[in-house]
Chains A and B, each alone.
Chain A
Amino acid sequence: MFQKQRSLYLTLICAWLGAILAATPVFYFAMPGCSLADAFMESAAAWTTTGIGAYDSAEMPLWLSIFRSVLNWIGGVGILMVFISIFKPRSFMGWKLAAAEFPGPNFLKVETDFRMYYRRIVEIYAGLSLLQFALLLIAGMAPADAVMTALSNTVTAGLHHINNGVVTSLSLPIKIIITVFAFAGSVSAPIYVYLTRRKWKKITDASELFFYSAQILITTIAICGFIEAFHRGSAVLPNFGAALMQVISSLSTSGYVISDIGKWPHACMVIIVLQVFVGACSLSTGGGIKVGRILIAAKTSFKNLYRHVHPRSVRSLTFDQKPIKSEYVASANIFIALFMITYLLGALLLSLDNVTLAEALSYSQAMITNSGISLASLTNAGLAVRFSAYGRTVLAIIMIAGRLEIYPLLMLFFRSFWRSE
């Protein structure tokens, strides 16, 4: 049935738009006094794991918050992925489907049987959620909160249900658990498959994981340096911890405020916010451009410089010590350009609403990376208060574009997509 790529993407778009539209009435009728645009945005934010909301979490009934967290979880792992592994339909074929829904450049294939692979991914995230739930209970969190946190945080959806994502008042053990699992959610899923099979060599070879961890550490140290320079004599270890927790929240595109960032120097915020573009590892539940693509693009840049010196060089690029096909190299670079263009166009559409340029630019970034975190939204605590119904609809569309890595939405504008064979 799914021999044709076209119908595959059609299924993907229908599944996502259908899911978002189906959940919209739930939010609309459960929250009196809220518009249809609010409900649409809330539904899109829930499915795309963007840590922003149209409603104040304090006014939401408990069942709705739990419902939202469940949507977070399914959306984070992938709607079709969850569907296939539960119902096991015979008609789905091919690896391409997972590649289309599970973000990242699609050359990190680990299983030959794709259905096994879907199942394993769902199992991994279910396991992580259960573990997180148990740990949170032990650390003293209320059961309802623990359920929601376990569901949302494992798939880097943020912590919208607790005080709109501003979680500075939580106890230290809980913060540590949250940080560890936000990081776990932003690491490539194949890493866990290797882990269960004890393929340590594969894990140590994973350059993406290495660079992602290095990026987090360097950013944290840089932030500590700035805090030290501005607030002389403050304790180093708590600063390091606070910085690390906030950096992981942002770089994993979870997008909650966990440290007292109000007192941080401006430079720290810029360091964090600009890196949100990079986002998490490929084939993870995080958003953004993905570390893998950035690595390939950086290698392309160096390679181009190299080729100016050696015009006749034929060496191909390597990733994880293996040469990669030139079409993947091209795809990664093209995606970065496409991502930035979509980001700018999103900001252009947002700018029609009554907002400043800084708000348009930073909200567009927060939406397309599915983080919900931006320089402007840090002060607004993850609520889209400044936007009208039009603006909220645009926010929702940018979120969907970011979650599906743009191409499925871009295809809608192509004639060959609509033409029947």
Chain B
Amino acid sequence: MKKIVSFYGVFLNLMGACFALPLITALIYQEPGSIRAFSLVMILCFALGFAIRVICGGNINDMEVKPRETYLLVATVWLIASAIGGLPYMLTGVAPSFFDAFFETASGFTTTGATIINDVDAVPKGVLMWRSFSQWLGGMGIIVLFVALLPKFGIKARNIASAETPGPTVTKLSTTFTGTAQRLYIAYLILTGAQTVLLMTGGLNFYDAINHSFTTMATGGFSTYGASIAAFNSNYVTWIITIFMFLAGTNFELFFVAVFGSIKKAFKNEEFRLYLAIVLSAITLITISLMTQGGYTDLFQAVTDSAFQVMTITSTTGYATVDFALWPTFSLMIIVILMVIGGSSSSTAGGIKVIRLLVMGKLFKREVSMKLHGRVVDDIKVDKRKLLPETLIYIIGFISMYIFTLVLATLVISLTDPVGLVTNFTAVLSCISNVGPGLEAVGPTCTFSFYSDFSKFVLTIVMIAGRLELSTLFIIFTSYYWRPYKV
């Protein structure tokens, strides 16, 4: 028990260290309000962290975590991170209330990108840096970062990190889990760096380039401009970001397959093929819809806009170069469907994930053949590997849980905010899949600021639940979690 508490001590110290980056930014741009806010929060984190470690002692390296406790650890770490990370917003006056700040930070860490800030252009640069950086931290996972930095801890932390990693399975990239975590972060760092350089060659300054690289690779979607990517008004920047959003929505393990194995092998991955097929067909359909119904005359412009918007939704990033809420209904419907699907497993994207859709399709097929030919029980295979029956139950159970959460949360926020079913539905959908913008009143040019505090709180919980693949958060609210020996 002591060790678990001391875990929070170490975590708070790490959190404090993370505030260094926005603090440096604030110092460079000489923003006294932000400097005060960040140094205050940083001191608070360090003081609390060291106090906990001194009182509880213990070395977390030899910490023994039971599988049951991991869920509590992960869920509370995310909740605490969202609460503490919101302090700078409140201290600088960017967010008017606690619920606003909580929403904004959770939206950051979960890489959702939904915002309550009406005028982004007026926010101090240090705060914006924290906003983008929080997405980058949350993208690969707070705990995964922890594991990558603390090798001895990582040996026993495999379960903890798997509770946080998107997708139904964590495959081994290395013999130790720390090795896997480190490799994931190396890929993440290299891609972020590459994008920053490419964006700078497109004429962006270093500050804008690094901010947008942070939020692209994390599939977060916060921008330093109110007009999002449309502010740059450059096709080069648009396409660079489109490509990197595609990469961020791809299974990160495939990068290692492509680099250390062969590119051919990476292309044979079933999930990747389906992901590619979904993206390409969505781009084609939306381009046709824009040319015939949407009043576009320039084909290149239509392809650019549709490719960018499809990628931003599929990878659950949530930028915008046009107000797609005004597009023809057919395009909107495709966007809604893409929001549900989301990106690949083991990527930084959210949603149901392409792998689950793939398995679902195979299950439909099996169900049909069972109805047609009686009791034929075929194995479900992905990439020639057989899936266990328990894994299948987890996958279909996840989809049911996703649907229940979506419908229930829509119902709950409709009780206090009667702003139309489409607005509320897409707001919840956007939060559970960690996309960012929805449609109609929460479209890409609008914010979530009009929601009541109650609805904001519900949406925040939905975001965190969605990021932690639902069960990690919901499990701590069940009775048998707290009474494990009761049968």
Given the known interface contacts A270-B421, A355-B329, the answer about A298 and B396 at a Cβ–Cβ threshold of 8 Å is: no
| Contact call B329/A351, Cβ cutoff below 8 A | yes
Q: Contact: B414 with A266, CB < 8 Å?
A: yes
B330 to chain A, nearest CB (A): 5
Is B414 touching A329 in the complex (CB atoms < 8 A)? no
Check: A110 CB closer than 8 A to any chain B CB. no
User: Across the two chains, which residue of chain A brings its CB closest to B419?
Assistant: A266
Residue B43 interfacial (CB < 8 Å) = no
A326 to B336, CA, bound (A): 32
The distance in angstroms between the C-alpha atoms of A340 and B336, with both chains bound, is 13
- C-alpha gap A306/B484 in the complex (Å): 9
Q: In the assembled complex, which residues on chain B have CB atoms less than 8 Å from the CB atom of A336?
A: 399-400, 403
A337 with B414: CB separation less than 8 A: no
Tell me which residues across on chain A come within 8 A of B369, comparing CB atoms: 414, 416
A266 vs B373: C-alpha distance when bound (angstroms):
48
A348-B334, A351-B333, A358-B420 are contacts. A5–B372 as well, Cβ < 8 Å?
Answer: yes
Q: Which of B11-19, B270-278, B311-319, B358-366 contacts A (4 or more CB under 8 A)?
A: B358-366
Instruction: Say which residue of A330, A344, A347 sits within 8 Å of B396 (CB atoms).
Output: A330
Q: With A and B bound together, what is the CA distance between A329 and B392 in angstroms?
A: 11
Q: B471 within 8 Å of A by Cβ?
A: yes
Instruction: Please determine whether A334 and B396 come into contact, CB atoms closer than 8 angstroms.
Output: yes
What A residues does B393 contact at CB under 8 A?
A: 300, 304, 326, 329-330
Annotate B411-425 by CB proximity to A: 1 below 8 A, 0 otherwise. 100111010111011
Q: Which of B368, B372, B440, B474 is in CB contact (< 8 Å) with A305?
A: B474
* Chain A interface SS verdict (over half): helix
Chain B neighbourhood of A274, CB < 8 A: 407, 410-411
Name A266-283 residues within 8 Å CB distance of B: 266-267, 270-271, 273-274, 277
Residue-wise, chain B 345-367 has the 8 Å CB interface mask toward A (1 for contact) of 00000000000000010011101
Residues of B within 8 A of A310 (CB): 480, 484
Complexed CA–CA distance, A277 and B424 (Å): 17
Asked if B411 contacts A306 (CB within 8 A), the reply is no
A323-337 interface mask toward B, CB cutoff 8 Å, 1 = contact, 0 = none?
A: 000110111011011
CB-CB nearest in chain B for A347: B333
CB pair A362–B421 under 8 Å, yes or no, is yes
- Asked whether A303 is an interface residue with its Cβ less than 8 Å from the other chain, the reply is yes
Task: Name the residue on A nearest B476 (C-beta).
Answer: A305
Q: Which residues of A contact B296 (CB under 8 A)?
A: none
| Chain B residues within 8 Å of A375, by CB | 421
Instruction: Evaluate contact between B364 and A410: CB separation under 8 angstroms.
Output: yes
CA distance A265 to B407 in the complex (A): 19
**A300-B396, A301-B401 given; A361·B422 CB < 8 A:** yes
B360 contacts which chain A residues (CB < 8 A)?
334, 337
Interface size for A (C-beta < 8 A) is 57
Collect the chain B residues with CB atoms within 8 Å of residue A340's CB: 403
Give the total number of A-B pairs whose CB atoms are below 8 A apart: 157
Q: Which residue of chain B is the closest to A266 with respect to CB atoms?
A: B418
Q: Decide yes or no whether B99 CB sits under 8 A from chain A.
A: no
- Are the C-beta atoms of A309 and B396 separated by less than 8 Å? no
Instruction: Tell me the bound Cα distance from A416 to B374 in angstroms.
Output: 13
Known: A265-B418, A301-B401, A337-B396. A309 touches B484 (CB 8 A): yes
Q: A348-B337, A411-B372 in contact; A337/B329 too (CB < 8 A)?
A: no
Question: Are A271 and B411 in contact, with the CB atoms below 8 A?
Answer: yes
Instruction: Note all chain B residues with C-beta closer than 8 A to A266.
Output: 414, 418
The bracket for how many chain B residues form the interface is 35 or more
* Distance in angstroms between the alpha carbons of A322 and B99 in the assembled complex: 46
Q: Are A344 and B418 in contact (CB under 8 A)?
A: no
What residues of A have a CB within 8 angstroms of the CB of B143 in the complex?
Answer: none
Asked if A308 and B471 sit within 8 Å, CB to CB, the answer is: yes
Q: Is A30 in contact with chain B by the CB < 8 A criterion?
A: no
B481 within 8 A of A: yes
B window 382-402: CB within 8 A of A: 389-390, 392-394, 396-401
Q: Which residues of A contact B478 (CB under 8 A)?
A: 302, 305-306, 309
In this complex, what residue of B is CB-closest to A414? B368
CA distance A83 to B333 in the complex (A): 40
* Any A CB within 8 A of the CB of B32: no
Is B240 an interface residue when CB atoms closer than 8 A count as contact?
Answer: no
Residues of chain A within 8 A of B372, CB atoms compared: 5-6, 9, 411, 414, 416-417
Which residues of chain B (227-258) have a CB below 8 Å from chain A?
none
Smallest beta-carbon distance A103→chain B, Å: 14
A411-B371 in contact (CB<8A): yes
* A100, B371: Cα distance in complex, Å: 9
Assess A333 versus B399: contact at CB under 8 Å? Given A348-B337, A362-B421: yes
- Whether the pair B400, A306 counts as a contact (CB closer than 8 A) is no
What chain A residues lie within 8 Å of B334 (beta carbons)?
348
Known: A270-B411, A331-B367, A375-B421. A357 touches B332 (CB 8 A): yes
Contact present for A311 and B67 (CB under 8 Å)? yes
Q: Is A352 an interface residue (CB 8 A)?
A: yes
Q: Check if A243 is an interface residue, CB within 8 A of chain B.
A: no
* B329 adjacent to A356 (CB under 8 Å): yes
Q: Does B68 have its Cβ within 8 Å of any Cβ on chain A?
A: yes
Interchain CA distance A30-B244 in the complex, whole Å: 60
Task: Decide if A267 touches B415 in the complex (CB within 8 Å).
Answer: yes
Interface presence of A193 (CB below 8 A): no
A338 CB–B CB distance under 8 Å: yes
Q: Are B333 and A410 in contact (CB under 8 A)?
A: no
Contact of A300 among B68, B363, B400, B440 (CB under 8 A): B400
Say yes or no for B109: interface residue by CB 8 A criterion.
no
Shortest B61–chain A CB gap in Å is 25
CA distance A306 to B393 in the complex (A): 13
B191 within 8 A of A: no
**A194 part of interface (Cβ distance < 8 Å):** no
What is the chain B residue whose CB lies nearest that of A308? Answer: B475
New A-B contacts (12) at CB < 8 Å, excluding given A344-B333, A348-B333: A267-B415, A274-B410, A303-B397, A304-B397, A304-B398, A305-B474, A327-B370, A344-B337, A344-B340, A358-B420, A361-B425, A416-B372
B interface residues with partner A (beta carbon < 8 Å):
67-68, 71, 328-330, 332-334, 336-337, 340, 360, 363-365, 367-374, 389-390, 392-394, 396-401, 403-404, 407, 410-411, 414-416, 418, 420-422, 424-425, 439-440, 471, 474-475, 478, 480-481, 484
Can you list 7 A-B contacts (CB < 8 A)?
A6-B372, A274-B411, A330-B393, A361-B336, A361-B425, A362-B421, A414-B372
Binding site for B on A (CB under 8 A): 5-6, 9, 100, 226, 265-267, 270-271, 273-274, 277, 297-298, 300-311, 326-327, 329-331, 333-334, 336-338, 340, 344, 347-348, 351-352, 355-358, 360-362, 375, 407, 410-411, 414, 416-417
